[in-house]
Structure 1
C-alpha cells in the first residue's frame, strides 16, 4: 500500500505508463472516421511509438486527402472504405467484435455517434458491466495520479450504475499497478442527508464494499472534494479515514460535476490528462480535438496496457 505522504510527482506518470508498454506488441486498433488532421495524426503518432497498429475506417478519398494535406504517411496502414461516419463507427465496432481489432479509437466523428454503435444491444460491445469513462490526471500539486469517473458517458448515474462505475475504475487502477486504490465518493458535504441524493448513494456504495458487492479497494464517502484530496481539510473536519486526504479515485455525482472538475484541473491547475472508456468488450480511446498530443498518447498507452492485461489473463500488477 502506498503512502499518503509520497513526494510530489509532476507530469511523470504518463512517461511511466508509456515505458511499461515497451516490449509489448502493438495492438490492432480500429480507428473510426479519422477524417481530420488531428485524429489522423493521433493514430499515426501512436503507431510510430509502437503502441498500436491502426486500421483506418472511413471514406477512403477523404482519409487520403486529409493525410496528404497534413503531410502524414499512411501507406503502410490497412484502410477500410465506408461511405460516412455512421458506417465507419459500425464497421469499427464490428471489427472489434470479430477479434480483428482489440482496441477502438474515436476519430473525428461525434462521441454520441460512436457510443451509439458501442452500446447497440445486438451488435455492440456491451458486457454485463455498465460502460464508463475514466480520466487519469497528473495534477502538479497532488502527490499521485488521480482518477476521475465518470465525466464523459453516464449523465445521471443511478446507484447501480455507480456500483459499476466504481468497480470499473478499481479494475483499471489494478492494471495500472495500484494495489488497493483509495476511492472517495464525492458530494457537496461529508455527512449523509436525505436532502442530497449523492450522499445517500455514497453511503450505500460504501456499504456495498463492506458486503463484497464492490471489491479490491478502500471506499469512503460522502466526502467533499477538499476532504478527499487534502489531509489538512480532512483533519479540520475531524474525518478519520484511510481515504480522506489521499484519494486515488474520485467518484463524481454526475457527468456535469465530473466534466467541470476534470477541465478545471486541466485548464486552471495545469494537469495532464488521459482518458479511456472501460466496461466494454474492449478499451475505447475517447479523446477530443482539444486534447494535447501527450494526452492522446497517454490515452493510447493506458488502453494498450488494458488490452494486454485482458489478453493474457495473468493477474495484473497489484491485484
Structure 2
C-alpha cells in the first residue's frame, strides 16, 4: 500500500480526502481486544436490548478511528499529529455497514490545519459521526510502501452459524453413555440448555449425581437410567431401536467400549456401511469449515473402507450445506506405485467419476498444500474443482488424521466437532479435553445431520 503525505505548505483550503470501509464483526472483535472495551453491545454474543437479535453495534470511537485513518494516511498524511477534536455521534453503525469518511480543509495557519470530519453510511445517507479536528501538519514530504501484517481473529463463525441452525430444530433425544465425569456431564447439560439435545443419562446413577453435585448442576426432570457401566452402551443401542433416542453421545468411557455393542449384528446400530469418524473443523481464517476423516476409528483403512469414509463424509457435508469437495491426501500429487495412498486416491477419484461414490467431487492424490491452497495447486498445474479448494480431507490412516486434526486444533486454534457416521443414528464423540464450543458444535452437527441428512 503506497502512502504519501501533504506537507503544510502544499495543503489548500477546501481540499478533501476520503476513505471507504466495510465494518465486519471481526473488526469489532479486534477493537474490543485492542481497546479493552468488551461492552456486549459491540460484540456478536448477546441480545442486550431484548429485540431477539445479537448486538453488533460499532463503538463510536471505533467509527471515529476512520477519521484518524484519513488524517494519518492521506490528508495531511504521515507525520500528522492530532491536537484537538470535537465530534458528535448522531447515529449508530453496525457490522455489515459500509461507511464513508470524508475530511475537508477549513483553515490553516502556523503549521496547524483545521478540518471538518464526517462519517456517513452511503446506503441511506445517514450521518454517523460529524465534527472538526485540528492537526499539526508535517513540514517535509514523505512517501512509503507500507505493509502491515494481517490479523486472523480466533473466532469460530462457521460453528456459530451451525449452532444457530441447530437451535431452530427439535431437541435431539440423545442417549449419553456413562456421564459420571464432570466434563462429560457438563457438556450434555450445556447442549440441553442450548436446546440442541434432550439427554437421557445412562450409567451409574450415584456417580452421575456426584458429578452433578461437583459442577453445581440440577438434574431435575432429566431421565437417568441406573445401569452397570459395562451395559450402558448396549442400553443406548436398545433405546435407539425403541425410538426413544435419535443420537448417542460418548461420556466417560473408552471409544472401543462405546462402539463395540453398536457393531453387534443383531442388536447394534449397523446399517450397511462401515463406521467412520469425521472431525468437522472451524479453522480461524478459513472461509469454510474443513472435514478431516478418518482420525479416530479406522486405523489403516483399505480401499473398500476408504469408499465408506468418503461417502459418509460427503453425505454429512451435504446435510451441512457444504458443497462436498473431497481431497484424498497423499505425500505426492501424482500416482506413485511405491506409495499405496497415492494409488488409493487415484482409484477413489475414478470411482467417483464412475458413480461408485456419489454426491460430491473427489480428486486425488493431492498433497496437503495443493489440496487447500489454490496458488499451490496452480503452481503444480492442477485443475478441476477440488485442487486448492478441498473442504473434505481424506487421510491415508489414523496417524495422519489424528496429527492433522490436532495440529489444526492446537497450532491453528481450530475448534472441532467429532462424529461417528455410518450408524443408524449419529454418534457424538467428545474427548475430555474438548472445549465448550467443541461439545456444543458436535451436538449441533449431529442434530443437523439427523434432521436434514436422513435422505443422503
Fold conserved (TM > 0.5)? yes
Aligned partner of 1:278 in structure 2 is 421
User: Which residue among 268, 280, 295 is the counterpart of 1:124?
Assistant: 268
In the TM superposition, what is the alpha-carbon distance from 1:134 to its structure 2 partner?
Answer: 0.9
Matched, 1:42 2:42: no
User: Which residue among 14, 17, 20 is the counterpart of 2:165?
Assistant: 20
Matched, 1:62 2:207: yes
In the TM superposition, what is the alpha-carbon distance from 1:310 to its structure 2 partner?
Answer: 5.0
Aligned partner of 1:308 in structure 2 is 451
User: Which residue among 245, 256, 278 is the counterpart of 1:134?
Assistant: 278
1:1-319 equivalences under 5 Å are: 10-84=155-229, 86-178=230-322, 180-309=323-452
Aligned partner of 2:139 in structure 1 is none
In the TM superposition, what is the alpha-carbon distance from 1:241 to its structure 2 partner?
Answer: 2.5
SS in 1 for 2:260: helix
Q: Render the CA deviation track for 1:92-150: whole Å, top value 9, x for unaligned.
A: 12111221100000000111100111112221111111111111111123221111111
| TM score, norm. by length of structure 1 | 0.92
Higher relative contact order (CA 8 A, sep 6+): 1
SS in 2 for 1:30: strand
In the TM superposition, what is the alpha-carbon distance from 1:61 to its structure 2 partner?
Answer: 1.1
Instruction: Give the total of aligned pairs.
Output: 305
- How far apart are the structure 2 equivalents of 1:55 and 1:22? 19
Q: Which moved more, 1:234-243 or 1:254-263?
A: 234-243
SS in 2 for 1:295: helix
- How far apart are the structure 2 equivalents of 1:254 and 1:296? 25
In the TM superposition, what is the alpha-carbon distance from 1:266 to its structure 2 partner?
Answer: 0.4
Contact 2:277–2:295 (CA<8 Å) still a contact in 1?
yes
- How far apart are the structure 2 equivalents of 1:283 and 1:115? 12
| TM score, norm. by length of structure 2 | 0.65
More strand by share: 2
Contact 2:173–2:244 (CA<8 Å) still a contact in 1?
yes
Contact 2:162–2:445 (CA<8 Å) still a contact in 1?
yes
- How far apart are the structure 2 equivalents of 1:49 and 1:143? 25
CA 1:279–1:40 in structure 2 vs 1: closer, same or farther (change >3 Å)? Answer: same
Q: Which structure 1 segments of 5+ residues have no match?
A: 1-6
Q: Render the CA deviation track for 1:56-107: whole Å, top value 9, x for unaligned.
A: 00011111111112211111100101122x2111111211122110000000
Q: Which moved more, 1:31-40 or 1:62-71?
A: 62-71
- How far apart are the structure 1 equivalents of 2:382 and 2:173? 47
SS in 2 for 1:274: strand
Q: Which moved more, 1:261-270 or 1:230-239?
A: 230-239
**Runs of 4 or more above 3 Å deviation:** 7-10
- How far apart are the structure 1 equivalents of 2:162 and 2:228? 36
Q: Render the CA deviation track for 1:169-198: whole Å, top value 9, x for unaligned.
A: 0000000012x3111000000110110100
SS in 2 for 1:277: strand
Aligned partner of 2:138 in structure 1 is none
- How far apart are the structure 2 equivalents of 1:22 and 1:36? 26
Aligned partner of 2:126 in structure 1 is none
- How far apart are the structure 2 equivalents of 1:142 and 1:226? 14
Q: Which structure 2 segments of 5+ residues have no match?
A: 1-25, 27-151
- How far apart are the structure 2 equivalents of 1:44 and 1:294? 13
